Structure 1
């Protein structure tokens, strides 16, 4: 035991305010050594200073009260290490998210660049297997992953090779405008092939596109959409049909695509090739 001190002196010694000390008393993580039954004054012991410093330091690092309480209530060194390590990992994840947010905000401060290369492409009619659904934008990632697996399994059974180079998607304008609309994933297959249950045989009609290749998956793809849309509307004639995407790379994980072709439909002013 050390010396008994007033709450005022203890606040100076620990850099914890009267309000904070009362709050930690109510939570049961830093109780006074003595409370005068007549005046209600709180008194602390100098031996509690280190305890108070630990609480203040971990609170400044964002550790939750329950974790601090668990940390202070155990004598098990391994348990303490696990609590601190878990909090450190959470801080590192938050730091990474903050860095990504800062990077995205910095990008917004710079103007959208006109793409270095936009290809005008005539796409002939294409026989595909497809899966479609009306979805909310918030559901698109989980729907995308499940549907991609379904299509890849079905196409591999027919072609006996992973069809990563041929996977694509169609997205109605309502998905962008109303946050809900029709989404379709497709993979080209021979016209004679019969689709399995849950997969539809379809033919995509011929169309004209302005095509921009976005490196990687969907990270930062909004900037590429903006650049392509600006180019189309300033130099071509935009068509209000669905946006098409072609995925290069992994057939099952959109985060590992090497590139994504964005195909913006346009009105053609030239005859399609023979």
Structure 2
């Protein structure tokens, strides 16, 4: 033990404000060694200064309170290393995301006038197995992964072997407009097979689309949507049906990693159908 000091002196030694120290006491991160029962004054021990510095530094780096509590409560060096390593890895991911965002903003501020490569496609009727749901935009990533796994498992069970399938999605305009709406994932239906109970067999009707292929993963896909939507509204007639996507390049080992996404914007065709 060191020497007992007032909260004022402890604040000076640790660069933690009175308000912050009281909050850390309330949540059990850094408790004073003594609280006067009559005045309510908090007193700390000089031996707590290092802990206070650890807490302040890790909080400045974004570590959560539960992780800091776990870090300070364990004497296991391996456990401490794991907590710190995990947090550093999270910081590296966040740093890369920040770099990507900065790069995207620089592109927006200094745009390169490259015309969007848009093709007009007639998609014929397509028999599919599908799963649909009404979801919030915040849920879409987790829903996508679980639903795609269910569809792939269903198709592989029907075929009796792993298959390289090109899944697709249908997204209601409400998802973009209201942040909640209908979403459907689908895969081409296996021949001569019936889907399991949680999967629907249906036929997507023929439709006309303006199509732009977004290379790589999901990063930057908003720019591709913007370019495609601009082209459609400037040169074609937009249809208010759901947006359709096709996910290209996935493998059985990495079913949610794609090399490209084909974005299909529904349009009204100005060309009469062939007879």
Q: TM-score, normalised by structure 2?
A: 0.71
* Partner of residue 164, structure 1: 165
1:43-71 CA-partner distances (Å, limit 9, x unpaired): 997x9987776666556545567766776
* Partner of residue 174, structure 2: 174
* Partner of residue 271, structure 2: 270
2:128–2:204 CA contact under 8 A, matched in 1: yes
* Partner of residue 258, structure 1: 259
1:217–1:254 CA contact under 8 A, matched in 2: no
1:214-256 CA-partner distances (Å, limit 9, x unpaired): 1123222111111001001111111111211111122675651
What is the number of equivalent residue pairs in this alignment? 269
2:21 and 2:155 mapped to 1: Cα distance? 66
* Partner of residue 109, structure 1: 109
- Structure 1's 53 and 108: CA in aligned 2 closer, same or farther, altered over 3 A? same
- Structure 1's 256 and 30: CA in aligned 2 closer, same or farther, altered over 3 A? same
1:83-120 CA-partner distances (Å, limit 9, x unpaired): 54454344334433433443444444355966442111
Shift of 1:24: 10
For the residue of structure 1 that corresponds to 2:244, the secondary structure is: strand
Gaps of 5+ in 2: 34-40
- Structure 1's 111 and 196: CA in aligned 2 closer, same or farther, altered over 3 A? same
Query: Which is further off, 141-150 or 51-60?
Result: 51-60
- Structure 1's 11 and 242: CA in aligned 2 closer, same or farther, altered over 3 A? closer
2:145–2:256 CA contact under 8 A, matched in 1: no
* Greater Rg over alpha carbons, structure: 1
Q: Any residues of structure 2 matched to 1:63-212 within 5 Å, and which? A: 81-82=81-82, 84-111=84-111, 115-156=115-156, 157-158=158-159, 160=161, 162-165=163-166, 167-189=167-189, 192-212=192-212
* Partner of residue 35, structure 1: none
1:152–1:163 CA contact under 8 A, matched in 2: no
Shift of 1:268: 1.2
1:131–1:185 CA contact under 8 A, matched in 2: yes
- Structure 1's 82 and 211: CA in aligned 2 closer, same or farther, altered over 3 A? closer
Shift of 1:187: 2.0
* Partner of residue 37, structure 2: none
1:115–1:228 CA contact under 8 A, matched in 2: no
For the residue of structure 2 that corresponds to 1:213, the secondary structure is: strand
2:241–2:266 CA contact under 8 A, matched in 1: yes
2:131–2:198 CA contact under 8 A, matched in 1: yes
Gaps of 5+ in 1: 33-39
Shift of 1:152: 1.8
1:115–1:212 CA contact under 8 A, matched in 2: no
- Structure 1's 247 and 58: CA in aligned 2 closer, same or farther, altered over 3 A? closer
For the residue of structure 1 that corresponds to 2:196, the secondary structure is: coil
1:122 and 1:73 mapped to 2: Cα distance? 63
1:164–1:247 CA contact under 8 A, matched in 2: no
2:66 and 2:159 mapped to 1: Cα distance? 55
1:112–1:227 CA contact under 8 A, matched in 2: no
1:141 and 1:50 mapped to 2: Cα distance? 41
